[in-house]
C-alpha cells in the first residue's frame, strides 16, 4: 500500500489535498512541491469544480453503465461477484501531446523491430545463424511453433496487432515492461472505457482536444480488408473467441459488435478443401479473415496436439496454404517471450540500424555470462523468473543457483518495478494508485499505427499490478491530448451499424442450437413454477391435506416431470412434513434434475452461451433468476411469483428485442416443442383421474396449463371434460393449446433456410403438418358421456403418439440444422519389436 507519509498538497480546498504518494515513485499529476502538472490542470480543475457528491454519483453511474453493458466477470458463476476485469475508475489519465509523440515513435519502432524478428525466426533464422540471437530462444522456447515455420502470412505481415505494457519510472521516463503478440487483451475494455467516460464527462470531453479512438478501429479494419484483398461490402471476417468461459468474453462480444465481425467459437468453424468455413443453418459460409482472441497454442488442435476444446482443427494448414488472414498470425506469441526484450537493443541496431528508442524495463537473461554473474550477485534484490514463460505458473527450483548454473538459458531476472502513481477516485476522495499503460498498435500500409489512448491499469500495490489478474486491477481511460483540433468521430456510430448481420437471414448453427434449448428450458421452468404454485396455494390455506381432493392429482402431475418423487405405493396421503420436504427439494435442490433450481440453472447456462444476443434489459432479468435463496424460505409463493415474473419478463424482452429473424424462430420453436410435449404429457398422465369429471382436478389442470382464465371467460363455471380438453388440445385460438403449438411449429419450419430451391416440403415440414392435421381431426364428441374403455384408449394412445411425434420432430430439427458432432483425435502407437 502507498503510505500516507509523503508530501501533501498545499491547496486545502482541492479534492487532491489529501493525496499521498510514495517518495520513490513518479507522480503523474503533481510535482513533489504540490503543483499540478500542466496537462492535468484542466482535468483537476474540472474535478474540483464537480465536487465530492457529484463525483460519487458519477462513479456510481460509471459502475452501472459498465455493468449494464455486461462488462462483468462471469456473472453466472457467482451472483455476488462484483469484481469485473479492469473495473473502471472515473478519473481519466491524460497524456500531453508532446510526450505522446515520443512514445508513439518509440512504439512504432518497437513493433517494426518485433515484426522483423518474427519474419526471421519463422523464415531463414539468420539471427541464430549469425549469432545475433542465442539459439535457445528458438530451440528451447515453447512460444516458438515449429508448425508455423515457413508459413508466409497474408501481405507478408507477421505482426498486425500488437500491445505493450509501459510504465513511467521514478526518473520520469517510460519503459516497456511486456510485449503482446499472440492475442493481446484489453482493446475492448479501452473502447468501453472511452464510451462510458466520454458520456459521464460529456461536456468536458467535447470541449477538450482529446484524440478520438474511432479512427484507429477504422485503420485496423481498412487495412485488414486491403491486406487480405477482401470485398469492401460484407467482408467475411469473424472474431474468434474461446467462448463465455473466458473471463474477458465481454471484450470479445463488444469488439465483435463494434467491428461488425460475427462472434464465433472454434466449433463454429470448420476446414474444408484448404479453406475455413463458418457453419451456418443454411450450410457452410466461407471465412476469409479471423480476428483471433485465442492463444497460439490453442489455435489448432490438429497441428498442435492439444485438447480439442477451443481452436479450429487444420487452421495452421490453411494459413500455410495462404487461404486465410489471421490477426495475429499464429506463432506471433514468440514476441511474448520475456527474455526476448533483453536482446532488443542489439537487434534494433542490427536489423534497423537504429538505437532502440523506447527503453526496456531493466532485465538480465542468464544465458550470457555477464548477465548471469550480475543475477547471481544480486539474487536478493532482483525478481527471478523463467525466461520463456510469462505466466510464472511453475514454482522456482529450491536451489536457484544450481538451477541457473545447469540451465542458464531458462532464467532471467528483472529489477523490481517502480511505476508511477496516479490519482484515483474512491468513495471518500482522491487516492493514489500505481499505474501501467497498455497501448495498442495495428499494421497499416504506411507502417504501424498507435491507438491514441488505451488502458491505464492501476492497483494499490506493485505486485497486483505486475501480475496478470485483470479482475484485481482497475483501469482508467487514457486521454491523449492533441495539439490540433480533433475530428468529431462518434464511437457510437460503429455500435449502431452492428445489428445488421445478426438480423440477417442466417446464423451460426451453434447459436441456433443454444437458442432452441433456451426456449425449451424457459418453458420447462415455467411449467414447474405453475405446478409448484398450484400446490403451494392449496396447502398454505386453511384446509387439511386430506380435504384437498386435487392435491394427489397435482402431485402426480409433478411426479411426471420428475420434480418430486412420490412413494412407490399408490394412494398414500403424504403427511404434511413429508410433503413440505419434498416440495422444498422440488424448489431448491440443484442436484435433482427435475427441480426448479436445476432447470433455472439450465436456463442461465443456455442464455450465457448466447449472451451477446440479448439486450441489457433481458440480461438484468436473467441475472435476477440467480436470486434463488440457498435455504428454504418462509413464503415460497412469493418466490414463485417472482420467478414466474422474471421468466415472463425475460421471454418478453428477449422475444421483443430479437426481431423475427432466425434466432427468434429457433428460440420460439424450442418453447413450442417443449410446451406441446409437457402439456400432452400432463394431460395423458391425468386422463384417468379426469374422467371422474372432478371440477377441482379440471380446474387444477387448466391452472397448470395457464388456460383457466380463457376457460372461465368462455364457459363460466361449468366444468366438463370435453370443453376442457377441447380448449387444451384443439382450440387454435388458445395460445396454450396443442393445436396452436403445432401450427406455430409448422409456420416456423416453413421459414427455415434450405440448401435447395423449394420444390418439396422438407421432412420437418411434413412432420409438423402431420401433427397439426392429427390434432385438428381429433374427435372429442364422445368424451364425457358414459365413455367406454375403448374411447379412453383412443385418446390416450393419441396423446402418446403425439408425444412420440414431437420427440421425433425435435430430433429431426437437431439433426438437420444443429448437428453437434464430437471430435476425437487419433494417433498410431508404435510398439516396435519384442526382444527376441
Partner 1 sequence: MKYMITHTTTYTYSEPASLSQNEVFLTPREIPTQKVSKNRLTIVPEPQYLKRQTDYFGNLSHIFMVQQSHNTLSMTAQSEVETMTPVAPPPDQTPSFETVAMGLEACENPSDLAAYQYVFASPLISIPPGIKDFAQVSFPPGTPVLKGAVDLMGRIFTDFTYDKSATTVDTPVEQVLAKRKGVCQDFAHFAISCLRSLGLSARYVSGYLETIPPPGKPKLIGSDASHAWISVFVPNAGWVDLDPTNNLFSGEKHICLAWGRDYGDVTPVKGVVMGGGIHTLSVKVDVSSQA
Query: Site residues (CB under 8 A) for partner 1?
Result: 128-129, 131, 135-136, 138-140, 146-147, 149-150, 270-274, 301-303, 305, 308, 313-314, 317, 320-321, 821-836
Rank residues 148 and 621 by Cβ distance to partner 1 and give the closer one. Answer: 148
Q: Shortest distance, CB of residue 403 to partner 1, whole angstroms?
A: 11
Distance CA 831, CA 225 (A): 50
Nearer residue to partner 1 within complex by CB, 310 or 421: 310
Name 71's Cβ contacts closer than 8 Å, sequence gap at least 6: 84, 85, 88, 189, 192, 250, 251, 254
What is the rounded CA–CA span in Å between residue 164 and residue 176?
A: 7
Residue 197 beta carbon to partner 1: minimum distance, rounded to whole angstroms:
45
Q: Which is nearer to partner 1, 219 or 317 (CB)?
A: 317
Do the Cβ atoms of 739 and 675 come closer than 8 Å? no
Report the C-alpha gap between 70 and 86 in whole angstroms: 13
Nearest CB to partner 1, comparing residues 138 and 701: 138
Q: Which element (helix H / strand E) includes 175?
A: strand 174-180
**Shorter beta-carbon distance to partner 1: residue 200 or 347:** 347
Tell me how far apart the alpha carbons of residues 160 and 147 are, in angstroms, rounded to a whole number.
Answer: 20
Measured between alpha carbons, how far is 647 from 23 in angstroms, rounded to an integer? 56
For the chain, what is the radius of gyration of the CA atoms? 32
User: Cβ of residue 138: shortest distance to partner 1, in angstroms?
Assistant: 8
Toward partner 1, which CB reaches closer, 12 or 831? 831
Instruction: Report the nearest approach of partner 1 to the CB of residue 517 (Å).
Output: 21
Q: C-beta of 386: minimal distance to partner 1 in Å?
A: 13
367 versus 611: smaller Cβ distance to partner 1: 367
C-alpha to C-alpha distances, 536 to 548, 556, 584, 587, 610, nearest whole angstrom: 12, 15, 11, 11, 34
Strands across the sheet containing 289-292: 263-264, 237-240, 289-292, 325-327
Report, in Å, the least distance between residue 560 CB and partner 1: 32
Question: 436 has which bridge partners?
Answer: 457
C-alpha distance from residue 159 to each of 110, 183, 184, 332 (Å): 11, 11, 12, 7
Q: Which DSSP category does 440 fall into?
A: E
All residues at 6 or more sequence positions from 343 whose CB lies less than 8 Å from its CB, including other chains: 132, 133, 137, 365
In the complex, least distance from residue 285 CB atom to partner 1, rounded to whole angstroms: 16
Please state the φ and ψ torsions of residue 179, each to the nearest 5 degrees: -120, 145
Give me the least distance between CB of 536 and partner 1, in Å please: 46
- Give me 105's grid cell: 515513435
* Least distance between partner 1 and beta carbon 823 (Å): 5
Q: Which is nearer to partner 1, 273 or 781 (CB)?
A: 273
Provide the terminal-to-terminal Cα distance of the chain, rounded to the nearest Å: 70
Q: How many CB atoms lie within 10 A of CB 577?
A: 8
How far is 317 from 706, CA to CA, in rounded Å? 56
Burial of 119 (0-12, 13-18, 19+ CB in 10 A): middle
Q: Please, which residue, 129 or 505, has the CB nearer to partner 1?
A: 129
**Grid cell of 723 as nine digits:** 370443453
For residue 10, the minimal CB distance to partner 1 (Å) is: 60
d(Cα 200, Cα 576) in Å, to the nearest integer?
57
CA 309 to the chain's CA centroid: 16
Q: What is the dihedral of CA 564, 593, 517, 678, to 10 degrees?
A: -20
Please state the closest distance from residue 132 (CB atom) to partner 1, in A: 12
| Contact (CB, 8 A) for 384 and 396 | yes
Least gap, CB of 708 to partner 1 (angstroms): 47
> In terms of DSSP bridges, do strands 429-444 and 411-414 run parallel, antiparallel, or are they unpaired?
unpaired
Please say whether the beta carbons of 214 and 84 come within 8 A: no
CB of 122 to partner 1, least distance (A): 10
Closer residue to partner 1 in complex, CB, 1/829? 829
CA atoms within a 13 Å half-sphere pointing along the CA-CB vector of 180: 23
CB of 677 to partner 1, least distance (A): 26
Number of CB atoms found within 10 A of residue 757's CB: 6
Which helix or strand (DSSP H or E) is residue 812 part of? Answer: helix 789-817
CB of 641 to partner 1, least distance (A): 46
CB 412 within 8 A of CB 339: yes
Distant-in-sequence, close-in-space partners of 137: CB < 8 Å, separation ≥ 6: 128, 144, 337, 339, 340, 343, 409
> Looking at beta carbons only, is 6 or 128 nearer to partner 1?
128
Name the residue nearer to partner 1 (CB basis): 99 or 275. Answer: 275
Q: Which is nearer to partner 1, 272 or 575 (CB)?
A: 272
Closer residue to partner 1, CB minimum distance, 140 or 812? 140
Q: Which is nearer to partner 1, 485 or 832 (CB)?
A: 832
| CA distance linking residue 508 with residue 283, whole number of Å | 9
Least gap, CB of 753 to partner 1 (angstroms): 20
| Smallest separation (angstroms) from partner 1 to the CB of 410 | 9
By beta-carbon proximity to partner 1, the closer residue of 367 and 528 is 367
Tell me the CB-side half-sphere exposure of residue 761, using CA atoms within 13 A. 13
Rounded least distance, CB 736 to partner 1, Å: 39
Q: 142 or 172: whose CB is closer to partner 1?
A: 142
Q: Which residue has the cell 487480405?
A: 228
Of the two residues 313 and 702, which places its CB atom closer to partner 1 in the complex? 313
Amino acid at each position: 500500500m502507498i503510505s500516507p507519509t509523503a508530501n501533501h498538497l498545499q491547496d486545502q480546498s482541492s479534492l487532491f489535498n489529501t493525496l499521498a504518494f510514495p517518495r520513490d515513485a513518479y507522480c503523474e499529476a503533481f510535482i513533489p512541491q504540490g503543483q499540478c502538472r500542466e496537462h492535468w490542470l484542466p482535468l483537476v480543475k474540472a474535478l474540483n469544480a464537480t465536487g465530492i457528491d457529484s463525483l460519487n454519483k458519477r462513479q456510481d453511474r460509471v459502475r452501472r453503465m459498465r455493468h449494464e453493458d455486461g462488462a462483468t466477470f462471469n456473472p453466472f458463476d457467482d451472483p455476488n461477484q462484483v469484481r469485473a476485469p479492469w473495473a473502471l475508475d472515473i478519473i481519466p489519465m491524460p497524456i500531453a501531446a508532446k510526450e505522446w509523440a515520443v512514445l508513439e515513435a518509440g512504439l512504432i519502432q518497437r513493433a517494426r523491430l518485433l515484426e522483423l524478428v518474427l519474419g526471421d525466426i519463422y523464415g531463414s533464422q539468420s539471427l541464430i545463424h549469425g549469432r545475433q540471437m542465442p539459439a535457445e530462444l528458438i530451440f528451447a522456447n515453447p512460444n516458438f511453433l515449429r508448425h508455423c515455420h515457413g508459413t508466409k502470412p497474408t501481405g507478408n505481415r507477421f505482426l498486425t496487432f500488437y500491445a505493450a505494457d509501459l510504465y513511467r519510472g521514478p526518473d520520469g521516463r517510460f519503459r516497456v515492461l511486456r510485449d503482446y503478440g499472440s492475442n493481446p487483451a484489453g482493446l475492448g475494455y479501452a473502447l468501453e472505457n472511452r464510451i462510458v467516460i466520454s458520456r459521464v464527462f460529456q461536456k468536458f470531453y467535447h470541449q477538450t482536444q482529446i484524440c478520438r479512438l474511432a479512427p484507429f478501429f477504422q485503420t485496423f479494419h481498412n487495412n485488414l480488408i486491403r491486406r487480405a484483398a477482401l470485398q469492401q461490402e460484407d467482408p467475411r471476417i469473424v472474431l474468434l473467441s474461446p467462448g463465455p468461459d473466458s473471463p474477458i468474453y465481454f471484450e470479445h462480444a463488444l469488439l465483435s459488435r463494434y467491428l461488425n465481425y460475427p462472434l464465433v467459437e472454434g466449433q463454429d468453424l470448420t476446414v474444408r478443401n484448404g479453406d475455413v468455413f463458418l457453419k451456418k443453418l443454411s450450410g457452410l459460409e466461407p471465412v476469409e479473415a479471423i480476428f483471433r482472441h485465442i492463444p497460439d497454442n490453442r489455435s489448432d488442435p490438429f497441428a498442435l496436439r492439444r485438447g480439442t476444446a477451443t481452436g479450429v482443427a487444420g487452421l495452421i494448414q490453411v494459413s500455410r496454404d495462404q487461404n486465410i488472414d489471421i490477426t495475429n498470425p499464429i506463432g506471433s506469441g514468440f514476441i511474448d517471450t520475456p527474455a526476448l526484450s533483453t536482446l532488443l537493443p542489439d537487434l534494433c541496431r542490427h536489423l534497423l540500424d537504429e538505437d532502440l528508442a523506447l527503453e526496456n524495463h531493466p532485465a538480465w537473461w542468464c544465458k550470457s555470462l555477464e548477465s548471469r554473474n550480475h543475477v547471481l550477485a544480486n539474487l536478493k534484490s532482483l525478481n527471478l523468473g523463467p525466461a520463456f514463460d510469462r505466466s510464472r505458473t511453475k514454482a522456482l527450483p529450491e536451489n536457484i543457483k544450481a538451477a541457473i548454473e545447469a540451465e542458464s538459458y531458462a532464467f532471467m531476472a528483472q529489477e523490481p518495478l517502480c511505476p508511477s502513481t496516479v490519482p484515483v477516485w474512491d468513495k471518500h476522495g482522491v487516492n493514489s494508485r500505481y499505474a501501467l499503460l497498455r497501448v495498442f498498435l495495428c499494421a497499416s500500409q504506411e507502417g504501424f499505427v498507435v491507438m491514441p489512448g488505451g488502458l491505464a491499469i492501476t492497483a494499490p500495490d506493485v505486485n497486483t499490478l505486475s501480475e496478470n489478474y485483470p479482475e484485481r486491477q482497475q483501469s482508467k481511460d487514457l486521454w491523449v491530448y492533441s495539439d490540433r483540433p480533433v475530428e468529431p468521430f462518434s464511437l457510437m456510430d460503429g455500435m449502431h451499424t452492428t445489428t445488421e448481420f445478426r438480423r440477417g437471414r442466417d446464423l451460426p448453427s451453434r447459436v441456433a442450437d443454444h437458442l432452441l434449448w433456451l426456449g425449451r428450458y424457459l418453458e420447462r421452468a415455467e411449467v414447474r413454477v405453475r405446478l409448484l404454485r398450484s400446490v403451494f396455494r392449496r396447502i398454505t390455506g386453511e384446509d387439511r391435506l386430506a380435504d384437498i381432493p386435487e392435491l394427489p392429482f397435482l402431485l402426480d402431475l409433478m411426479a411426471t416431470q420428475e420434480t418430486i418423487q412420490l412413494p412407490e405405493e399408490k394412494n398414500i396421503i403424504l403427511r404434511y412434513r413429508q410433503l413440505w420436504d419434498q416440495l422444498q427439494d422440488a424448489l431448491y435442490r440443484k442436484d435433482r434434475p427435475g427441480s426448479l433450481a436445476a432447470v433455472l440453472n439450465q436456463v442461465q447456462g443456455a442464455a450465457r452461451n448466447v449472451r451477446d444476443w440479448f439486450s441489457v434489459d433481458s440480461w438484468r432479468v436473467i441475472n435476477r433468476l440467480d436470486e434463488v435463496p440457498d435455504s428454504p424460505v418462509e413464503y415460497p409463493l412469493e418466490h414463485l411469483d417472482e420467478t414466474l415474473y422474471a421468466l415472463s419478463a425475460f421471454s418478453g424482452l428477449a422475444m421483443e428485442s430479437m426481431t423475427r429473424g432466425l434466432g427468434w424462430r429457433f428460440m420460439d420453436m424450442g418453447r413450442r416443442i417443449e410446451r406441446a410435449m409437457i402439456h400432452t404429457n400432463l394431460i395423458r398422465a391425468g386422463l384417468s383421474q379426469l374422467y371422474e369429471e372432478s371440477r377441482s382436478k379440471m380446474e387444477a389442470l387448466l391452472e397448470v396449463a395457464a388456460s383457466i382464465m380463457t376457460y372461465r371467460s368462455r364457459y363460466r363455471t361449468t366444468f366438463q371434460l370435453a370443453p376442457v380438453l377441447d380448449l387444451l388440445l384443439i382450440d387454435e385460438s388458445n395460445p396454450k393449446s396443442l393445436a396452436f403449438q403445432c401450427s406455430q411449429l409448422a409456420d416456423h419450419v416453413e421459414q427455415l433456410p434450405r440448401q435447395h430451391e423449394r420444390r418439396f416440403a422438407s421432412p420437418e415440414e411434413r412432420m409438423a403438418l402431420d401433427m397439426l392435421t392429427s390434432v385438428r381431426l381429433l374427435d372429442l364428441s364422445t368424451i364425457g358421456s358414459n365413455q367406454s374403455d375403448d374411447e379412453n384408449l383412443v385418446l390416450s394412445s393419441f396423446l402418446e403418439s403425439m408425444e412420440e411425434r414431437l420427440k421425433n420432430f425435435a430430433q429431426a430439427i437437431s439433426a438437420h440444422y444443429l448437428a453437434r458432432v464430437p471430435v476425437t483425435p487419433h494417433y498410431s502407437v508404435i510398439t516396435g519389436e519384442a526382444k527376441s
